[in-house]
Amino acid sequence: MKKNITRGKIYTKNEFKRILSIPTHNDILLLKVQPNPHSVILVKNDFLDKGYAIFDANGYVTGPREEPVVDVENIPFYIVSKDDTYKLLDEISPQRPLNRGTDAVNPGYCGIFGIIFMVYFRHTLKIKGWNENWVDFVNLAREPFQRIERSDSPALIMAAEVQEIIKNNTNYSNMEQQIFDKIVEYFNKLGIKFPSTSTKKQKTAFGKKYKYNNRMYVIRVGPRGGKYILVKNVKKYIK
């Protein structure tokens, strides 16, 4: 299923409820953003904070690594408020773009990353913590091999290999299995644990604070025990 979305529009709570009520297959809804075509993916899942989230291969953060900020103006559309929409991306999207080039350099890769995400989601959606593992994976996979503009990254190489899988397959089941195997292969290459049903519930802590840039921030604890603070609405992990 798919739904056309207007770029830059602020959708009301009721408008978004109607989008959420659209019947879907495997709780996946493709959102086609116009003008300046782009696709993002809405998924519904009990392990997500709100029961749903949005995957955008373009990410939602800009600025230097030391002081990242939410790139509000480049979020494709908004739900109720411009300031809070990024929270729906944060749970399942990379912070920065997976496609480090342009469509001219890496044609169709944003669509390929969407396919990779949907295959991953279909195979892990019943495993607690699937999204945490995924975010760790995409944020690491997008990192370039060299600090130059057109350097390859694990994500770009994986996308090229998945593109070949799609090109050389006519059987959908075989194609999906090969893509899934490729995802697992890259998780292993990057040393990221692939989700399993043995994922344990982690402890949480409350009330503690952390000093950063002469300001005190509340320490938050993720489902896997990682501690972080929110700096300008962006997660900054701490030791």
Interval 38-92: pLDDT, tens: 999 999 999 999 999 999 999 999 988 888 899 999 999 999 999 999 999 999 9
Q: Who's near 44: CB < 8 A, 6+ residues apart?
A: 20, 24, 27, 51, 52
Q: Which residues are within 8 A (CB) of 97 and not within 5 positions of it... i.e. 6 or more apart? A: 57, 58, 59, 142
d(CA 108, CA 152): 16
Please, which residues bridge with residue 215 across strands?
212
C-alpha–C-alpha distance, residues 30 and 5, integer Å = 10
Residue 76 is predicted with a pLDDT of 96
> Would the pLDDT of 151 be above 80?
no
Confidence of residue 14 (pLDDT cuts 50, 70, 90): very high
User: Nearest Cα to 69, choosing from 192, 230, 207?
Assistant: 230
pLDDT band at 203 (very low <50, low <70, confident <90, very high): very low
Mean pLDDT along residues 125-146: 93
Phi, psi of 222 (to 5 degrees): -75, 170
User: Which of these ranges, 45-49, 122-126, 171-175, has the smallest mean pLDDT?
Assistant: 171-175
Lowest-pLDDT choice from 22-31, 76-85, 96-105, 196-205 = 196-205
pLDDT at 74: 92
User: What confidence tier does 4 reach under pLDDT thresholds 50, 70, 90?
Assistant: very high
Residue in the block written with tokens 């899942």: 45
Residue 22 CA to chain centroid, in angstroms? 22
The distance between the two most distant Cα atoms of the chain, rounded to a whole number of Å, is 58
Average pLDDT over residues 128-151: 87
What's the whole-number mean pLDDT along residues 157-172? Answer: 93
Whole-prediction pTM: 0.80
